Structure 1
Amino acid sequence: MRFVFVMDPLTRVSHDKDTTFAFIRAAQARGHQSFHCLPQDLYVSQGFPFATAHRVEILPDPPYITLRRDEGAVRLPLHDVEAVFIRKDPPFDQAYLYATLMLEPARGKTLIINDPRGLRDANEKLYALGFSEWTPKTLVTADRDMIHDFVRDVGGTAVIKPLDGAGGWGVMMLRSDDKNARAIADMLTGEGQRLAMVQEFLPAVSEGDKRILLLDGEPLGAILRVPRGDEIRSNIHVGGRVVPTDLTPRERELVRSVGARLKADGLVFVGLDVIGEHLTEVNVTSPTGIQELSRFTGQDQAARVIEWAEKTARTR
């Protein structure tokens, strides 16, 4: 089969952490060809989407992953390949939006992970609001006075974050007794011009932020990202430590509640962020964590994703 990965440059790929690397490695091990392209390498001709791409190969030694430039670039009709994996890292900006729109004609013809229409509908912060019974108390507003009133109403401590941030960028604690609180709110809202999300502070964050990986609405498993002692953010790239974990009965109920909606929206590979059994974010653009999960479970979870893609692509 031919799999096309729409993603960032390979120079950003870490062989021992990156989820896309694990997908390409699993696909190669199962005899498939993988191709790499950047979002700007997509184009539409006569109403059909194409990609100018290079075949990508996993190597046993550094650099571990490489483009086969010696074979030259190929122009692939995306409505005719077996699967397209959209693995461009956030933020979901205008270029990302255009990429999903250009892939729209391939919907229903090619397996696309994740569905471009689903990506457009599922802002990783706001999508969780559709499951308010599982989220902490949350306010989305650009109004700075409303933000400070909310912080007082939830006990004096909250967390504020931008709607287009990723990897913990811009996530800050707001305290009613902090003289910096108004400056923080002003900065995140652009002095009342941009929307921000504010959530009640969950003390359980000190124990970790659980990343639950889902495949077609069903859990593959979970990892726990534990923040440093001087941080509230548990993201791996800001120093979060990753340890094994299991799902609690309530978290399994959460997955059942959320999973059906994700599946209906074509959001196949998803990472739910859960703190203290509360859903805080739904990561759909380029979820990570599968290599850590594979090491903890002793199973190649990326191979499970590729095997699912094979079976699904055959039905197309």
Structure 2
Amino acid sequence: MATKQCLTRGEAVKFVKEKLGLNTIEDATLDYHTLREIQRRLMSEVPFQNVSLMMMPPEKRFPTAEDVLTSGLSLLGGTCERNNWFACLLLKALGFNIHNIAAIYCSERELADMHMMCVVRGVADPDDPQIADPLFLVDVASGFPLPRPVPLHRLPVTFPETAGLRVRFAWHEDMIHRLHYCKDPRPDEKHPSLDGWQVIMKFNTSPRDPASLKDGMNVTFLADPPLDFLKSFRLFRWPHGKDWAVAFRDNELMFFGENFPAPTSNKDENERKCKILIEDSELEAKIREYFPTLCPKQLKGAFNRTMELKGK
């Protein structure tokens, strides 16, 4: 039996209506506003999470297109190679001109093909409708989310507040850089610095076959002993209709934005965020509360594994 590699338009419309709750999609114009709304709803309903990765055999962590469709359509979600590949397949089926790209992750050393994203071509920019060839970056699978598509045709662009961070995209030495603002940059910071901003990743807009990123991502997926990314929880979700986002990093529950459901005593008014340390005995239940589409069996297994790694 042939494996499923793509979605039909009918399947994409059904998913967006029934799972993302965008009932107007069938007759919607494929414009910037539709693109932005789908991006926003994907970040709500198809969460960024590493729970599934933690419970997979290392050789199975990089997915096939069939794996991507399964995790996306079921709302299980995953990390960038699943969520952004799924976003590309979904938006392409709806009729957008879209392709996947790859980024170089910049830390102590540069690691190629470590983050998958999407680029949409030909959608008119409401802030610059006369632009001849608009390009928008779509990234629905980051622990540091983007509130809207990034207009790559008019860089630099700065997002003043995104998950507690100031994020900037700018050209530098023939590549687009994603930068996070450094309040107090030091020479020993994990990421290199550029004009007071940390360089997180850099990329160009050349189309990439998602399968071609496997060798790069396996640097993380096959590492033995496992890297920190596969030793503790990394989850992010931006619930639809809320002006706050929620994330877990190990035992820390984090909220970003406004009016989030957390004690005001934990809130940093200047950063619009708060962190709450969750006891081990409450962690699994608290993750289920904010990430209801996770597989309970996988979550239980991942929780047990993190406790073993902590020696508990």
- TM-score, normalised to structure 2, is 0.24
Larger Rg: 1
- TM-score, normalised to structure 1, is 0.24
